[in-house]
């Protein structure tokens, strides 16, 4: 994150090859989705949000795949998030 990312990317591009079209607003960071939005009262000022929705969905897919390899699966109905003896 920077107040002037283009200046930083210009310096980086002098040392490393960057693919054409690779400089764009971020979409993900460490698995979290990043979105830019603007408040109706101050539309010139950009704000950013992060969401772990896709990260959690992908983690569950990975977990279910690995459990399937072991012949196991997640329970479909539970009354508490953890067992009572945890």
Which sequence spans correspond to the domains of the chain? 5-69
Name the pLDDT band for 71 (thresholds 50, 70, 90): very high
CA 59 – CA 62 distance, rounded (Å): 5
pLDDT of residue 51: 92
How many residues are recorded in the chain? Answer: 86
Total-model pTM: 0.52
- Judge whether residue 67 has pLDDT over 90: yes
pLDDT of residue 1: 67
Mean pLDDT of 46-67: 91
- List, edge to edge, every strand of the sheet that includes 32-39: 28-29, 32-39, 42-51
pLDDT digits (tens, 9 = 90+) for 2-55: 778 888 888 998 999 988 877 888 888 888 899 998 888 988 888 889 998 988
């Amino acid at each position: 994150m920077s107040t002037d990312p283009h200046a930083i990317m210009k310096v980086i591009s002098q040392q490393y090859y960057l693919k054409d079209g690779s400089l764009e607003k971020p979409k993900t960071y460490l698995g979290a989705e990043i979105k830019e939005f603007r408040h109706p009262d101050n539309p010139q000022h950009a704000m950013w949000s992060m969401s772990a929705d896709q990260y959690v969905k992908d983690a569950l897919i990975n977990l279910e795949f690995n459990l399937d390899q072991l012949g196991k699966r997640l329970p479909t109905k539970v009354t508490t998030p953890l067992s009572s003896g945890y």
